[in-house]
A and B are shown apart, each in its own frame.
Chain A
Amino acid sequence: MLTRERRADALVAALWWVGAAAIAFFVAGGGLTTTSPVDYINSLGRIAGLVAAVLVMNQVLLISRVPFVERTLGHDRAAATHTFMGKVAFIAMLVHASLILIMSAHYDGRSVLAEIPAMWDIGWFMVAAQAALGFFTLVVVTSLLIVRRRWKYENWHTVHLFVYLAIMLVIPHQFIEGSTFRSKGAAWWFWLLLYVFTIGCWLAFRVVRPLLHAQRFHLVVSSVTPHAVGSVSIVMTGRDLSSLGARSGQFMLWRFLAAGYWREAHPFSLSRTPGDTLRITVKPSGDGSGALAHLPVGTRVLFEGPLGVFTSAVRSRPGVVYISAGIGITPLRALLEEPQRGPVDIVLRAQSADAAPLRDEVHELAARHGATVHEFFGARGQGWSTAAEPASLGTLIDNLPQRDVYICGPVNWADAVEADALAGGVAPEAIHRERFGWS
């Protein structure tokens, strides 16, 4: 039985191999048939286009929430792989468009600039393809700007919707103009299956399943409780929620169907063990989560998930350390509700005792398990701890190498914890992080 890490590696490798298969079909179909060496530049341009097409489909699959991806890769690695493939795909698209443009200009005896409008004569699908390249460029540039300048999640989300438009615009030229797609041989089936499978997964798990689940579970907001320093707990009830299969430590994407909220879906962890009700606890950050304190009771909820592999199923060591910063406590609070085995340590990090959401609940659960709670409240220091009280997990926790370490908090902080844990002798596969990012 392969470890999850191995299966995740295998899945990522397989996604790249699909790209290689596209090149192989191209070559096998006589794609390198040339009459002069300069033709190889044209072939290279076509290969770049095929690779870009496969990688974009891989990206769609990675964020389709299809269970085999969510379970094998986990939401965070799926999102990271999605981002990396997106960068490679965009470079491949630029190479494809420029080489094909230059070589078509060469074959037709036109200047490169004159070739751009000349391509419109080939058909509407070439106009669409050029427009798609423009949209992809827009999305990549603005995504980079948004991440760099720390703009709001909502902006990033809106910009990303243009990708779906770009994909719709770019597909026709691949099937109508691309000669790779023309023959009805194995290559044709390869591409057809790739598109049908990928888009099918996306539709099934991003559109159809949330709607079916909304119908079946009939999730409704039943209470909205503000806490000190702005965080708010939202409890939802529905029909037969226990059959949802959600576990402590998982998160879901929530879309509240009330005026001013329904446009965006937000990822929030369950903040207690899911049963007949689901609870999330949210700290104000973007527009969406800030206003949730005013969410009307009775609001219908659409959801995707449960998502993530930050559960007790990934335990591999006799003991455990739960370490969180700020609102990152929510999935750990839910995990603490489950039966524990071995020694349990909880490390809480926050600006102040008041700013640590659900702190009283954590203490109560810790007492039930006989767990030790270590609290570090105050301004940020060099490492993961406070400036006033630098700490290291190796000295704080007994027998650290025999523990699983669950980390939830902001990325930079979690990086510092992970480095400290590794330095303290924790094996990489015993470190579990939840990075529900933007995807």
Chain B
Amino acid sequence: MRGAHAAVIVGGCAVIVGAGFAAAPPLAGGTATADPTASAAQGSQTFDGPPISNLRGTYQAQITVTDGAVTDVVALQAGTTAPESVQVNTMAIPEFKKRVLEAQTWDVDAVSGASYTSPAFLESLEGAFEEAGLK
């Protein structure tokens, strides 16, 4: 009776956690940093921001400028290899790219849930814009 009760508890837990695994993204880790050589298109120039470090690692932005317009934003460095860092930056960097390409400025809103990435990456972005003469 007690054994059966324990078995029901453990079995139920296994099923629930199993469902979590089924819904999980592929476990092979995505990385937040991009290959800088691949992003530079023909006839465009890349500009690197300064590396900015804080408690959660080092962040460095690179922008690609084509005919005076920013056409790509990547992170040369973003955070550390800690899983939480990877998780946060995998989410945050594409969001910054989207915002910067839309607004064509480094001065975009911080990404919520990325309290350390946001100020450091934006500071590095500002440097990259300055480098490109867009500020």
Q: Contact residues of A with B, CB < 8 Å?
A: 9, 12-13, 16-17, 19-21, 23-36, 39, 42-43, 46, 103-104, 107-108, 121-122, 179, 182-183, 428
Chain A residues, CB < 8 A from B25? 30, 33
- Is the pair B16, A35 in contact by a Cβ cutoff of 8 Å? no
Q: How many A-B residue pairs have CB under 8 A?
A: 96
- Is the pair B55, A122 in contact by a Cβ cutoff of 8 Å? yes
Chain A residues, CB < 8 A from B30? 33
- Is the pair A27, B17 in contact by a Cβ cutoff of 8 Å? yes
Q: Top 4 A-B pairs ranked by shortest CB distance?
A: A24-B20, A27-B20, A20-B13, A28-B23
Q: How would residues 66 to 87 of chain B score, 1 for a CB under 8 Å from any chain A CB and 0 otherwise? A: 0000000000000011111111
- Is the pair A42, B82 in contact by a Cβ cutoff of 8 Å? yes
- Is the pair B88, A24 in contact by a Cβ cutoff of 8 Å? no
- Is the pair B86, A33 in contact by a Cβ cutoff of 8 Å? yes
Q: Which positions 17-66 of chain B face chain A at CB distance < 8 Å?
A: 17-21, 23-25, 27, 29-31, 55
CA distance A30 to B25 in the complex (A): 6
Chain A residues, CB < 8 A from B9? 12-13, 16-17
- Is the pair A33, B87 in contact by a Cβ cutoff of 8 Å? yes
CA distance A39 to B21 in the complex (A): 17
- Is the pair B87, A179 in contact by a Cβ cutoff of 8 Å? yes
B82 contact from A12, A13, A16, A107, Cβ within 8 A: A107
Nearest CB on B from A190, distance (A): 11
Chain B CB within 10 Å, residue with most, of A13, A17, A24: A24
- Is the pair B8, A23 in contact by a Cβ cutoff of 8 Å? no
Chain B residues, CB < 8 A from A46? 84
Nearest CB on B from A25, distance (A): 7
Nearest CB on B from A221, distance (A): 43
Extra A-B contacts (12), CB below 8 Å, given A28-B24, A30-B24: A23-B16, A24-B21, A27-B21, A28-B21, A30-B25, A32-B27, A33-B25, A34-B83, A36-B81, A42-B83, A122-B55, A182-B113
CA distance A107 to B18 in the complex (A): 29
| B94 CB-CB contact with A under 8 Å | no
- Is the pair A33, B27 in contact by a Cβ cutoff of 8 Å? yes
CA distance A43 to B17 in the complex (A): 14
- Is the pair A23, B20 in contact by a Cβ cutoff of 8 Å? yes
Q: Which residue of B lies closest to A43 (CB)?
A: B83
Chain B residues, CB < 8 A from A39? 81-83
CA distance A25 to B21 in the complex (A): 9
- Is the pair B86, A19 in contact by a Cβ cutoff of 8 Å? no
CA distance A9 to B7 in the complex (A): 11
Q: How would residues 94 to 113 of chain B score, 1 for a CB under 8 Å from any chain A CB and 0 otherwise? A: 00000000000000000011
CA distance A25 to B22 in the complex (A): 11
Q: Show 9 residue pairs from A and B whose CB-CB distance is below 8 angstroms, ordered by the A residue.
A: A16-B13, A17-B13, A17-B16, A21-B16, A23-B17, A27-B17, A27-B24, A30-B87, A33-B29
Chain B residues, CB < 8 A from A33? 25, 27, 29-30, 83, 86-87, 90
CA distance A103 to B23 in the complex (A): 26
Chain B residues, CB < 8 A from A179? 84, 87-88, 113
- Is the pair A24, B82 in contact by a Cβ cutoff of 8 Å? no
CA distance A25 to B25 in the complex (A): 12
CA distance A27 to B17 in the complex (A): 8
Nearest CB on A from B112, distance (A): 8
Chain B residues, CB < 8 A from A25? 20
Q: Which residue of A lies closest to B84 (CB)?
A: A179
CA distance A50 to B96 in the complex (A): 30
Q: Which residue of A lies closest to B1 (CB)?
A: A428
Q: Which residue of B lies closest to A40 (CB)?
A: B83
CA distance A203 to B7 in the complex (A): 34
- Is the pair B17, A20 in contact by a Cβ cutoff of 8 Å? yes
Chain B residues, CB < 8 A from A42? 82-84
- Is the pair A24, B55 in contact by a Cβ cutoff of 8 Å? no
| B135 CB-CB contact with A under 8 Å | no
Nearest CB on B from A203, distance (A): 28
Chain A residues, CB < 8 A from B5? 9, 12-13
Nearest CB on A from B90, distance (A): 8
CA distance A121 to B9 in the complex (A): 40
- Is the pair B17, A121 in contact by a Cβ cutoff of 8 Å? no
Chain A residues, CB < 8 A from B23? 24, 27-28
Chain B residues, CB < 8 A from A16? 9, 12-13
- Is the pair B80, A107 in contact by a Cβ cutoff of 8 Å? yes
- Is the pair A20, B55 in contact by a Cβ cutoff of 8 Å? no
Nearest CB on B from A20, distance (A): 4
Nearest CB on B from A13, distance (A): 5
- Is the pair A32, B24 in contact by a Cβ cutoff of 8 Å? yes
Chain A residues, CB < 8 A from B17? 20, 23-24, 27
CA distance A93 to B4 in the complex (A): 28
